[in-house]
Amino acid sequence: MKLAGFDLYGYSLPFTRPPTLKGRSLRRREGLLLRLAGDDGSEGWGEAAPLPGFSAESKGEAAEQLRRLAGSMMGREATEDWVDPDGEFGRELDRVAPSVRFGFELAVWNLYAASSGKALPELVASHPRAVVPVNALISGSPEEALGEARRMRDTGYPSVKLKVGARTVAEDAALARALGEELGEGVSLRLDANRAWGYEEAAEFVHGAARFEYVEEPLADPARLPEFVGEFGVPVALDESLVGMGPEELEENSYARAVALKPTLLGGISRTLRVAERALRLGVTPVVSSAYESGVGTAALIALAASVAERPVPAGLDTYRSLAEDVLEELLDLPAPSVDVMEAAEASRTVVLRRLEKI
């Protein structure tokens, strides 16, 4: 099968509850969808959606790179190397922006899967798990957060995450303690500080909080994370620190309890799989997480989450609930405590062209 054509589209989806990213309220999620066509009639969709405040590339820059990259590939024979995380093809993409790499790789992997009569999860792993557990996001005032936590617990979510760092340290610690008590032993509590604290503030939080699975990026100065973990024994997860980090560099960060893998920011499927493999070797838990992608990208995250860990790990997919609309006709079965992997893969193929703008 050879690449025979491509189309590039833009989308703009409203949020039901606009998230605040790096101090900016995001009212719509904008991104790009790439459709690759094979000469055998197969097609594959990919999504490139730079995340404002986190991605260095703009949507316009991503579109330019995607168009140039796709155009340069026309007429080339698709081989198994294209869907090999350690293959030569992946190295050809090292110089493109992370979101572009994710979008193009996803389109290629989906195209190859369609041409081979498979679904994406079956390319990512020979025996992907049938179901992926989901980590729920909770927000709002302490009363609202406790109410959400209670509902999530009763609904069957195995894990919930709370953003910390916007309140005082004492308020965050008190809320974390209350949530831990509300959730009980059967539901894990994850915290995400987004580098909000200085060293002393983070230490104050650790002394005041009760049990939690881990806290993501607690320090404004991530260089002090090894010292922080060594002094307090606190479980931490890496997120922003992974951007631009090669898989081999993870060796220097084996103090982490977990790594939040966001292909839009890490740079694609192959790089995410390589980082996950290295993490597992080090005893670090890989947690696949979203960057507010549409259903096309979210379905790819589900396929990755079904494959990367040795045991089921709740994936960070709950941002999908914040989209008021999607580009898919068959919406993903989210929000939910878990999601069917193959059903999500099938739904991701039902892109509605009238909801897109061709560019």
Sign of CA dihedral 330, 158, 269, 321: positive
Which tokens in the block code for residue 123? 């390319």
Judge whether 213 and 256 are in contact, CB under 8 Å: no
Residue with tokens 């560099």: 249
Residues 6+ apart with CB under 8 A from 126: none
Which tokens in the block code for residue 289? 């997480």
312: Cα within 13 Å, side-chain hemisphere: 15
To the query of whether residue 59 is one of the catalytic residues in this protein, the response is no
**Cβ burial 26-53 (10 Å sphere, 16+ → b, else e):** beebebbbbbbbbeeebbbbbbbbbbee
The two most distant CA atoms of the chain are separated, in Å, by 61
Q: How many CB atoms lie within 10 A of CB 20?
A: 12
To the query of whether residue 163 is one of the catalytic residues in this protein, the response is yes
Pairing of strands 28-38, 3-14: antiparallel
Candidates 22, 118, 161, 262; catalytic one: 262
Judge whether 349 and 293 are in contact, CB under 8 Å: no
Candidates 2, 59, 161, 163; catalytic one: 163
Pairing of strands 28-38, 43-48: antiparallel
Instruction: List the catalytic residues.
Output: 163, 262
